[in-house]
Amino acid sequence: MQLFGQILVNGILLGGLYGLMGLGMGLVWGVLKIVNLAHGALIMLGGYALYFLYTKAGVDPFLGLPLAMLAMFVLGYLLQTLLLNLIVRSAQLNTLLLTFGLDVVFVYLAQLLFTADFRTINPPYAGKNVSLSGVTVPYAQLGAFGVAVLLAALLYLVLDKTRTGRAVRATAQNLVAARLYGVNPKRIYAITFGTGAALAGAAGGLYGIVSQITPYIGVTLTAKSFVIAILGGLDKPLGVIGGGLVLGIAEAMAALYLDPTYTDIISFGLLVLVLVARPAQLLGRA
Amino acid sequence: MNRFRWLALPIAAAALAVVPWVTSDTIVQYGINALLVATLAQAWNIIGGFSGYPSFGNSVFYGLGTYGTAIAMAQLHWSFGSGLVLGAVLGVACALLFGIPILRLRGPYFAIATLGLAAVMSAIVATVEIAGKNIGLILPLFRGETLFYELSLILLVAATATVAWIARSRFGVGLVAIREDEDAAQVMGINTTMYKVAALTVAALFSALAGGIHAYWITFIDPASAFDPSLNVRMVIMTLFGGPGTVLGPVLGAFVLSAVSEVLASQATGVASLFYGFVIVAAVVFMPKGLLDLVQGFRESGWRYFIDNVRRYRI
């Protein structure tokens, strides 16, 4: 039972991080109608940004996170302004292919610049943990989970309360109507994609603290982010965190009761299951 | 002149067929790779180019073809021919099993599912006993570069002939209708799911056969090399570059880009893949209809061709 509790906690802590990954994917998908296949690559880049902030500049990972997010926001904003806005109205095939191309570019740039070595962000408190009635909770994992939930809540507030957030939601619902009310879609698209990239960057940084970064982590994370975004619902940031928890717990349980090599297979099985189980009903749209 | 245009293709194929007798082994080896990857591009063209459903998991069918042939020859001691058949059966079975549930859906769901499949397939195969787990399989050695070259050429010609037939058939028109407007296609009485699954299955058949030939040629396979996800990048880019939804575009794209990447790969690892990524991005923005359309469009409107393409879809 204690083992079960431990696995459950591990799953929840990992799931919060997964939720953060799904958040950026879902935001971009919902507003721009682009399924960003480079999302995992952006997560990977965010991980490297935080890694180098920590190892080269000595910034504490949790303090460096806003900086990494800012850098990723700028990257996302520029990508959308200079590139994605050119094809945002074309057939879905083209947006899929373009983001796929971007994914390839980022992965091999990272391989050339950073090498394929495994990297871990290893702050001094990485090994420390707190014990709650026999269940061990590492501080780093707990911090990552807290940041993920905080960012989801923040995104919810920004979308709900601020003028820009309302403009983003209006654009998602009806581009033409939003335009008539004076929303500049180019700017909103750029801000949305930038925010998506920043969230991916945050997820990547936290992933680097609790796990390992290589240039190749992106593809599976893209697929997982997609599943989580569907599970949670595209326009509900807190729901997406819930979707992340489902996947995190499922993976942790699979690793315990089957075999650690099956975790990716389980999450792929879940992916197919979610896709086949009528995403339209889960989403209430599509 | 136009009366004899149909002769151009058999002549080109015949010219390619005599290559092993007039050139060196290095060129033949390069040729086998180029022909096999052109076959993969042509196969991708059926599902990605005609029906507009981008599969990022065709490497799985290739890998299953590789493993089918390897298991038949190394474990069961069958002949090469029966090995190819087993590989093709595995590839086609996977396309049906996987395609029927996923292709009922529309839009990005298929793309993501194929991406996921490609990412986990090597992990799945690495747990199978008869497939040699992580270690892989060694096939009987057979040194006949010319035979492999001719087999690859025959496979490419067969794939291209199939695509040429598809382009003229009711089936192909149905796929294009699905690409352009799936709702309208359905209203016109096209069984869209069946068409899409059929397209994926044909693509899987040719991909698996290419994998089988490659397995016997290279004589050693393991999960990482058989299910190499970068193969997907190559199929997509070569089709996109040459002209998706055309008969000869993918072959042209594959030959041009194979030559370029051969040069780049000799410089540093990863550079060729990086280059592919940039080409995909540039092709989608500047020449979404590929090289064949570019040649024609450039003749008509010069540099404005690129500007028109950029302007068409920007917000």
Rounded to whole angstroms, the Cα distance separating B67 from B84 reads 10
Q: What integer pLDDT is reported at residue B132 of this predicted model?
A: 76
Q: What is the ipTM of this complex?
A: 0.80
* First-residue to last-residue Cα distance in chain A: 41
One-letter amino acid at B13 equals A
Structural tokens at position B108:
């990005």
Extract the tokens encoding B171. 């089936």
- Find the angle CA(A157)-CA(A15)-CA(A236) to the nearest 5 degrees: 30
Higher pLDDT among residues B59 and B4, named by residue: B59
Selection from B248, B249, B315 nearest residue B283 by Cα: B249
Domains defined along chain A, listed by start: 2-283 (1.10.3470)
CA–CA gap between residue B127 and residue B108 (Å, rounded): 29
Alpha carbon distances (Å) from B9 to B13, B40, B46, B84, B86: 6, 19, 20, 27, 31
Residue B228: burial class (beta carbons within 10 Å; 0-12, 13-18, 19+): middle
Asked if the model's pLDDT at residue A212 lies above 80, the reply is yes
Cβ of B308: how many Cβ atoms within 10 Å?
Answer: 11
Q: Distance (Å, rounded) from C-alpha A237 to C-alpha A154? A: 9
Q: Compute the distance between CA of residue B145 and CA of residue B143 in angstroms, rounded to an integer.
A: 6
Identify the CA nearest to A102 among candidates B285, B201, B292. B285
* CB contact at 8 A, A263 and A219: no
Portion 64-93 of A in contact with B at CB < 8 A: 83, 85-93
Chain-chain contact of A223 with B116 (C-beta, under 8 angstroms): yes
Contact A151, A199 (CB under 8 A): yes
CB-closest option in A108, A189, A261 to B274: A108
Threshold 0.90, pTM exceeds? no
How many angstroms separate the Cα of A131 from the Cα of each of A9, A139, B137? 12, 10, 47
Put simply, the answer to whether B112 touches A83 (Cβ < 8 Å) is: no
Helix (H) or strand (E) holding B138: strand B137-138
Hey, how many other C-beta atoms are within 10 angstroms of the C-beta on B193? 16
> What is the mean pLDDT of the segment spanning A230-249?
81
What residue type is assigned to position B87 of the chain?
G
Candidates A105, A109, A281, partner chain B, best to mutate (most B CBs within 10 A): A105
Q: Do B119 and A220 touch (CB under 8 A)?
A: yes
The pLDDT-based confidence of A24 (bands split at 50, 70, 90) is: very high
Residue B2's pLDDT is 56
- Among all residues of chain B, which has the CA nearest to that of A176? B315
Find chain A residues with C-beta within 8 A of B277's C-beta.
101-108
Residue A192 has pLDDT above 90, yes or no: yes
| Contact flag A105-B270 (C-beta cutoff 8 Å) | no
Alpha carbons A143 and B178: distance in angstroms, whole number: 48
Question: How would you class A197 by CB atoms within 10 Å of its CB: exposed for 0-12, middle for 13-18, buried for 19 or more?
Answer: buried
pLDDT single digits (tens) B237-291: 888 888 888 888 899 989 988 888 777 776 666 777 788 888 888 888 888 887 8
What pLDDT shows up at residue A279? 55
A13 touches chain B (CB under 8 A): no
Q: What is the pLDDT of residue A234?
A: 67
Question: Would you call B170 exposed, middle or buried from its count of C-beta atoms within 10 A (0-12, 13-18, 19+)?
Answer: exposed
For residue A43, the tally of other CB atoms under 10 A from its CB is 32
* B123 has a chain A CB within 8 A of its CB: yes
Q: Among B201, B176, B149, B171, which Cα is nearest to B43's?
A: B201
In the predicted model, is pLDDT for residue A284 greater than 50?
A: no
Residue of B nearest to A272 (CA): B113
Size of interface A-B (CB pairs under 8 A): 145
pLDDT of amino acid A285: 44
**Closest chain A residue by Cα to residue B283:** A98
Q: Which comes out higher in pLDDT, residue B266 or B225?
A: B225
pLDDT tens digits for range A56-80: 988 898 999 999 999 999 999 999 9
Task: Give the pLDDT confidence of A142-165 residue by residue, as tens digits.
Answer: 999 999 999 999 998 998 899 999
Report the pLDDT value the prediction gives residue A193, as an integer from 0 to 100: 95
Q: pLDDT tens digits for B33-65?
A: 999 999 999 999 999 999 988 888 899 999 999
pLDDT at A283 over 60: no
Asked if A98's CB is within 8 angstroms of B123's CB, the reply is no
Band (B225; pLDDT cuts 50, 70, 90): confident
Q: What confidence tens digit (pLDDT) does each residue in B100-148 have?
A: 888 887 777 888 888 888 878 888 888 877 877 777 888 888 778 888 9
Q: Could you tell me if B280 lies within 8 Å of chain A, comparing CB atoms? A: yes
Nearest-Cα residue of chain B relative to residue A35:
B108
Instruction: State the burial class of residue A158 (Cβ atoms within 10 Å of its Cβ: 0-12, 13-18, 19+).
Output: middle
Q: What is the pLDDT of residue A278?
A: 56
Can you tell me the distance from the alpha carbon of A74 to that of A81, in angstroms, rounded to the nearest whole number?
10
Across chain A, mean pLDDT equals: 86
CA gap B237, B218 in Å, rounded: 24
* Residue A267 pLDDT greater than 80, yes or no: no
Q: Which of B55, B176, B281 to mutate to test the interface with A (most CBs of A within 10 A)?
A: B281
Q: Is the pLDDT of residue B193 over 70?
A: yes
Inter-chain CB proximity A223 and B313 less than 8 Å: no
